[in-house]
Amino acid sequence: MKEVRFFYVPDAQHREELPQDEAVHALRVLRLQPGDEMFLMDGEGCFCKAAVTVASSKHCLYRIVETLPQERAWRGRIHLGIAPTKDIGRMEWMAEKATEVGFDEITFLNCKFSERRNIRTDRMERIVVSAMKQSRKGWKPQVNPLCSFSDFVAAPLGGRKFICHCYEEIERKDFFTEIGRSTGDDDITVLIGPEGDFSTDEVRLALKHGYESVTLGSSRLRTETAGLSAVMMSQLARRSERALLSCRASADGEPSA
């Protein structure tokens, strides 16, 4: 069976040429030729079946054969706010795996106990795009630059907002239980602190701005593990009815739609 080739092309339906980095991969690595089939992902919920029309040394032009709108596998938006770790490789791993699981947006937080106060969003973008293509996601997660904790919690975000922390003196509820009680398509914003946790002042500031105090469980988790766990829990609680039906059909041995 011939391998299906996916490429990330923003606004794919209104273009006719692959972006430079994608063209390099198509021409030099995959050696695509005119007439070869490929699939384009616009990151906005649509795949396009396309055929190569021109394959030169630097340019790969295409013609769209069919548009394939995708259906979201989860309800509402999942937004993760997280303090980047000192070892940036751990944060890159988390962003990659969270994209494969499925979420909508990530914002990096500059907190009182943060170990890292700068981040290359361009590199994080490339990791997210690669994971999006590998996992065949219809939507590309939005990657935001580093933001101060106080500015982030003061922002007027909709839906339900949670801050995860380990302070026993501040009442906490179970995160998964709380999001499981939600109905409808409410957005979810969940905050994960640095290895030293948020400060108590930061937690209280978030509570003043409408955040709910929660825990991810009894285990002490590393920052990247906590971030991925929060995304996975949100995914489980927000899976669409279509995604659930697809999973049930697969379990029964039926092909999914």
pLDDT at 188 (0 to 100): 95
Q: What is the CATH number of domain 6-69?
A: 2.40.240.20
pLDDT at 242 (0 to 100): 53
Q: How far is Cα 250 from Cα 142, in angstroms, rounded to an integer?
A: 30
pLDDT tens across 199-242, in order? 999 999 999 999 999 999 988 899 999 999 999 999 999 886 55
Decide: 186 and 237 in contact? Cβ < 8 Å.
no
Task: Using a pLDDT cut of 70, give the percent of the chain over it.
Answer: 91
pLDDT at 245 (0 to 100): 46
What's the CATH superfamily of 78-241? SPOUT methyltransferase, trefoil knot domain (3.40.1280.10)
Buried b / exposed e over 224-240, threshold 16 CB at 10 Å, is bbbbbbbbbbbbebbbe
Task: Using a pLDDT cut of 90, give the percent of the chain over it.
Answer: 82
Q: How far is Cα 125 from Cα 150, in angstroms, rounded to an integer?
A: 24
Domain ranges of the chain: 6-69, 78-241
Q: In whole numbers, what is the pLDDT of the chain averaged over residues?
A: 91
154 pLDDT more than 50: yes
pLDDT tens across 57-109, in order? 889 999 999 999 999 889 899 999 999 999 999 999 999 999 999 999 999 99
Across the range 245-250, mean pLDDT stands at: 48
Across the range 173-187, mean pLDDT stands at: 85
CA 251 remoteness from chain centre: 26
Across the range 125-144, mean pLDDT stands at: 96
Using CA atoms, how far residue 24 sits from 31, 51, 164, in Å, is 9, 17, 42
Burial class (CB in 10 A: 0-12, 13-18, 19+), 220: exposed
